[in-house]
Chain A
Amino acid sequence: MPAPVPVNRRGFLSAAGMAALAAGLGGPLLAACGSNTGRGNSSGNGGGISQWYHAYGEAGVQQAVERYAKAYQDATGKSVSVQWNPGDYDSKLATSLLSGGGPDVFESTLSVARVRAGQVVPLDDVIAPAKDDFTATILATHTVDGQVYGIPQAVDTQMLFYRKSMLDAAGITPPSTVDELVDAARRLTTDKVKGLFAGNDGGAATLGGPSLWSVGLDYVTPDHKPGFDDPAAATALGKLRELYTSNSMLLGAVKDWAEPDAFIQGLVAFQWTGLWAVPAVQQALGDDFGVLPWPKLTDAGAPSVPVGAFGAMVNAKSQHVDDAKAFVKWLWVDRTEYQEDFNLAYGFHIPPRASLADKADKLKTGVAADSVRFVRDHGKASNPVDWTQGARTAFLDAVSKVVREGADPATEIRAAAQKAQDELTRLYS
C-alpha cells in the first residue's frame, strides 16, 4: 500500500483552491470560452461542429452531453463543441439563427414559420433507418409538409398529480370527468388546503389545451383550420371559470405550476405539473401520490396529456451541414445507449422511441408506467407546428379573459379563432 504523499499546509490549501476553482468556475468558464462565437473551435481543425442546448435543470446532463460529443470526436476525429445556454434560450436561439453565427446543431421545437424562412434543413435521410420507432404524435411536431426537420430527443408531458391520502380521507375516488374533478376540488378545500393548483393564473396558461381536448376539439385541425371555433369550446372554458371562482384553487403560490412545491408542502390535494416533477415528489411523498390525465368533460372528448419534445435540428446557414447531419444521425438515431442515458439517467423523461421506452425498467412500474401509458394513449401535441405565436397569444389571452376576468367565452373564442384563421391563411395561402 503506497504511503500518502505528505502535503504541507500551503500546498494543500492551494490545491483545494484550484479544485474549488475548477469545480465552481472552470466548468462554465471553459464551456463558455470554447464556443462563445457560437461556431465552436472550427478554426483549429477545420470542420468542428458547434451544438447548443438550453440549460437542463437536472444535475449531470451537461456533463453527459459533453461526454457524447467527446465520444463522437474519438470515433470520427471530428470535434463537437457543446454550448450550454442558461436563461432565455428560445430568444437567444431565434436571434442567432437570423445571423450567420448560429450553432450548427441545436435543440428546439419546430414551427412552420421556421421552415418557411429556410432556417432548418430536412432530416428525412437522417431519421429514415428508425422512423417507425418514433412515437407518431411526437414525430408529427417535428414534421412540416411531410418532411422531418427535428429528431426528437426526449418527451415531456404534464399530468394531474393527486395526493392519495387526502382523497382517501375524504372518500373521493380519482376523478374521471371534469365535473368530478371540480366537485372533488371543492370538497377537499379546507382553511389550510386548497383543492387544486394549476398555476397562479388559475390554469389560464396550462389548461386551455386540455380543456379543448376534453370536449373533442384541438388547437388546429389536420387541414390547417382553427380547431376550436365551436360552442363546445365555450362550455369547456366555462368549466375553468367555474373552477377559478369556486374558491378551491390555490392562487399566488411562491413557485408556479412547473415546480411541485405546493403539492409537496401539502397546500393542495391536486396539482397540474410536469413529468419532470416525479423524482422530487417521489422523494418527498413516497407512494402517497398518483397521476391522472386531464379528464374528459363530454363524451365527445377524451382524457388527455399535452406532449412535446425538443428535437435535434441542423442550421441551414451552417458551414458544415453534412457534418452536422452525420453527427445528429450518430447521436440521436444510431447511438441508442446515449439516448437512453440522456432520457433516464438524470431527470425523468420518456424516450421518444418505442424500443427504448419498452425496455426501460425504470418505466415499467407505478407512476412512471402510468405516464408512459398516458403519452401513448392520450398524448396531444402541446405545440403543433402550425400553431403560431400569434395564434397562441390570442388563444391564451382568450382563456385568461374568460377564466380570470369572467369575459363571455363564446365572444372570446370567436375572436381567438379569427386570429388563428388569419395566421393559418398567411402560412398556407
Chain B
Amino acid sequence: MSGVAGDGRTAPASARRRTGVRGNTLAFWLFVGPFAIGLAVFVYLPIGWSALLSFFDAYNTVTPSTFVGLDNYVDMLTEGPFLRSLGTFSLFALFIVPLTFVLSLALALLVNQVGFARTFFRSVFFLPTACSYVVAALIWKLSIFNGVRYGLANTVLGWFGADSIAWTGSTNPPWYWLVLVTLRLWLQLGFYMILFIAGLQRIPQHLYEAAWIDGASPGWQTFRHVTLPQLRTTSVAVLLLTLIAAYQAFDEFYNVLGTADGYPPFARPPLVYLYYSALGSGGQDFGHGSAGAVLLALLIALVTLLQGKVFGFTRRED
C-alpha cells in the first residue's frame, strides 16, 4: 500500500485511492458475483432446504407441512440399512484410503525416478482420471469381470484350468469387492500420483545433498527422513480427499452392482441408499433422505477434522 500512496506525483493520493477502492470493489463483485449467486442458488439454498426438510414428514413433496422434529434422525440412526451402509463404508474407507495412498505414492516415486519417457509414463498413469466413472464401471462389469466363461478374467482363469467365477454375482467369497476396488484404484490412482509428483518436485535438491553429506544412504533412509516429512502437506491433502471420496462413493458402485430392479443390500454406499429412498422410483421420501444426507455430511466433517487434528493439517509448515 505504501508504494501506491507514495506514487502520488501524477495525481492527488486521496483521489487516487478513492477511485482505486471503488474500482476494486466493482471488479470484485463483477468477478465473484455471478459465481457467488450461482453458488448461493444452486448449492447453499438446496443444502439449507435439505436441512429444513430433514425435520419434516416430506413424502412426495418438497414443501411439507408436518413438522416431526428429530424423528427422521432417530429413524435413520436406529439399527437399519442406513447405519449398516455407514458401517460398511467406514470399513471400506479404512481399507481403500491407505491402499490408494501407498500405491499412488509408489507410482509417483517410480515415475519421478524413471530416466526416460517420464512425460509418457506420467500421462499414461494419469489418463484413467479422464475416463468417465460410468464408462469404466460398464467395462469392468460387462467385459473384464463378467461371469460367463468368455469374460476376460474368466478366460485368464481358464488358462490355468480354474472354474469360471461369477464376479459380481457371488457373495461368498465376496468377489465383487475385487471388482470395485480395482476399478476405483484404476480410476483415481493417477490423480493422486500427480499430486504426489507435484509435492516431490517441490522438495529442494539441497536437502538430499545435505542428507548424503551427513551419511544417509540413498533409498529408504532418505525417503524416510527427507522425502516423507517434506511431503506432509501433500499427504494430508491426499488422505483427506481419498477419505471424502470413499464416503461419497456412488457412480461405480451404482453402475457395477445396481440393476433395473434396485441395489443389493451389500456393498451399498450410503449415498446409493439415500438416492433410492429419496429419489428412486416411488421412493420420494425427502424427510428421511435429507436427514441421512445431513448425518453423512456431519460424519465426513467429523472424520476430516479428526484426521486434520491427528496429522496436523492446520499446523504451519516450517
Chain A 76-98 interface 0/1 with B at a Cβ cutoff of 8 Å (1 = within) = 00000000000000110011011
Query: Assuming the A-B contacts A91-B279, A98-B62, are A252 and B262 also in contact, with contact meaning beta carbons closer than 8 angstroms in the complex?
Result: no
CB of B252 within 8 A of chain A?
no
CB of B172 within 8 A of chain A?
yes
A302 to chain B: closest CB distance in Å?
A: 23
Q: Which of B148, B264, B285 contacts A400 (CB 8 A)?
A: B264
Q: Are A200 and B148 in contact (CB under 8 A)?
A: no
CB of B166 within 8 A of chain A?
yes
B126 to chain A: closest CB distance in Å?
A: 30
Query: Assuming the A-B contacts A91-B281, A94-B284, A252-B166, are A393 and B60 also in contact, with contact meaning beta carbons closer than 8 angstroms in the complex?
Result: no
In chain B, what residue has the closest Cβ to A388?
Answer: B282
Chain A 385-405 interface 0/1 with B at a Cβ cutoff of 8 Å (1 = within) = 000111011101100110011
Q: Are A251 and B264 in contact (CB under 8 A)?
A: no
Query: Hey, which chain B residues are within 8 Å of A396, CB to CB?
Result: 261-262, 265
Q: Which of A252, A258, A388 contacts B169 (CB 8 A)?
A: A252
Query: Hey, which chain B residues are within 8 Å of A251, CB to CB?
Result: 147, 166, 169-170
B292 to chain A: closest CB distance in Å?
A: 13
B255 to chain A: closest CB distance in Å?
A: 13
In chain A, what residue has the closest Cβ to B286?
Answer: A98
Q: Which of B166, B170, B284 has the most CB of A within 10 A?
A: B284
Q: Are A389 and B148 in contact (CB under 8 A)?
A: no
In the bound assembly, the distance between CA atoms of A111 and B81 in angstroms comes to 23
Chain B 248-282 interface 0/1 with A at a Cβ cutoff of 8 Å (1 = within) = 00000000000111101110000000001101111
Query: Assuming the A-B contacts A252-B151, A254-B146, A405-B172, are A90 and B260 also in contact, with contact meaning beta carbons closer than 8 angstroms in the complex?
Result: no
Chain B 278-302 interface 0/1 with A at a Cβ cutoff of 8 Å (1 = within) = 0111111100000000000000000
In the bound assembly, the distance between CA atoms of A392 and B260 in angstroms comes to 14
Query: Hey, which chain B residues are within 8 Å of A114, CB to CB?
Result: 60
Q: Are A94 and B171 in contact (CB under 8 A)?
A: no
CB of A300 within 8 A of chain B?
no
In the bound assembly, the distance between CA atoms of A258 and B261 in angstroms comes to 10
CB of A256 within 8 A of chain B?
yes
Q: Which of B60, B151, B277 has the most CB of A within 10 A?
A: B60
In the bound assembly, the distance between CA atoms of A251 and B169 in angstroms comes to 6
The interface size bin for chain B is 35 or more
B79 to chain A: closest CB distance in Å?
A: 10
Query: Assuming the A-B contacts A200-B168, A251-B166, A390-B285, are A256 and B260 also in contact, with contact meaning beta carbons closer than 8 angstroms in the complex?
Result: yes
Query: Hey, which chain B residues are within 8 Å of A397, CB to CB?
Result: 81, 264-265
A152 to chain B: closest CB distance in Å?
A: 18
Q: Are B264 and A404 in contact (CB under 8 A)?
A: yes
Query: Hey, which chain A residues are within 8 Å of B172, CB to CB?
Result: 404-406
Query: Hey, which chain B residues are within 8 Å of A406, CB to CB?
Result: 172
In the bound assembly, the distance between CA atoms of A393 and B259 in angstroms comes to 13
In chain B, what residue has the closest Cβ to A397?
Answer: B265
In chain B, what residue has the closest Cβ to A204?
Answer: B264
Q: Are B60 and A252 in contact (CB under 8 A)?
A: no
Q: Are B279 and A200 in contact (CB under 8 A)?
A: no
Q: Which of A252, A254, A401 has the most CB of B within 10 A?
A: A252
Q: Which of B147, B151, B170, B261 contacts A206 (CB 8 A)?
A: B261
Which residues of A (198-237) have their CB < 8 Å from a CB of B?
A: 199-202, 204-206
Query: Hey, which chain B residues are within 8 Å of A111, CB to CB?
Result: 282
In the bound assembly, the distance between CA atoms of A239 and B61 in angstroms comes to 40
A67 to chain B: closest CB distance in Å?
A: 28
Query: Hey, which chain A residues are within 8 Å of B151, CB to CB?
Result: 252, 254
Query: Hey, which chain B residues are within 8 Å of A404, CB to CB?
Result: 170-172, 264, 266
Query: Hey, which chain B residues are within 8 Å of A95, CB to CB?
Result: 279
In chain A, what residue has the closest Cβ to B148?
Answer: A253
Query: Assuming the A-B contacts A116-B59, A389-B277, are A201 and B259 also in contact, with contact meaning beta carbons closer than 8 angstroms in the complex?
Result: yes
In the bound assembly, the distance between CA atoms of A390 and B292 in angstroms comes to 15
Q: Which of A98, A206, A393, A400 contacts B277 (CB 8 A)?
A: A393
In chain B, what residue has the closest Cβ to A255?
Answer: B142
CB of B167 within 8 A of chain A?
yes
In the bound assembly, the distance between CA atoms of A251 and B261 in angstroms comes to 16
Query: Hey, which chain A residues are within 8 Å of B146, CB to CB?
Result: 252-254
Chain A 99-134 interface 0/1 with B at a Cβ cutoff of 8 Å (1 = within) = 000000000010101101101000000000000000
CB of A61 within 8 A of chain B?
no
Chain A 355-376 interface 0/1 with B at a Cβ cutoff of 8 Å (1 = within) = 0000000000000000000000
Query: Assuming the A-B contacts A204-B264, A205-B261, A253-B146, are A94 and B281 also in contact, with contact meaning beta carbons closer than 8 angstroms in the complex?
Result: yes
In chain A, what residue has the closest Cβ to B147?
Answer: A252
Q: Which of B147, B164, B261, B277 has the most CB of A within 10 A?
A: B261
In the bound assembly, the distance between CA atoms of A206 and B264 in angstroms comes to 12
A86 to chain B: closest CB distance in Å?
A: 14
Query: Hey, which chain B residues are within 8 Å of A264, CB to CB?
Result: none
Give 19 pairs: A residue, B residue, CB < 8 Å, sorted on A.
A90-B282, A97-B60, A117-B284, A199-B261, A250-B148, A252-B165, A252-B166, A252-B167, A253-B147, A253-B148, A254-B146, A267-B148, A388-B282, A389-B282, A397-B265, A400-B266, A401-B265, A405-B172, A405-B266
B residues apposed to A, CB below 8 Å:
59-62, 81, 142, 145-148, 151, 164-172, 259-262, 264-266, 276-277, 279-285
Please name the 9 residue pairs, one residue from A and one from B, whose CB atoms are nearest each other, closest first.
Answer: A252-B147, A90-B281, A205-B261, A251-B169, A117-B60, A251-B166, A252-B166, A397-B265, A389-B283
A residues apposed to B, CB below 8 Å:
90-91, 94-95, 97-98, 109, 111, 113-114, 116-117, 119, 199-202, 204-206, 250-254, 256, 258, 267, 388-390, 392-394, 396-397, 400-401, 404-406
Give me 11 other A-B pairs in contact (C-beta within 8 A), A117-B61, A250-B147, A389-B285 excluded: A94-B283, A117-B60, A201-B169, A252-B168, A389-B281, A389-B283, A390-B285, A392-B262, A393-B81, A396-B262, A404-B266
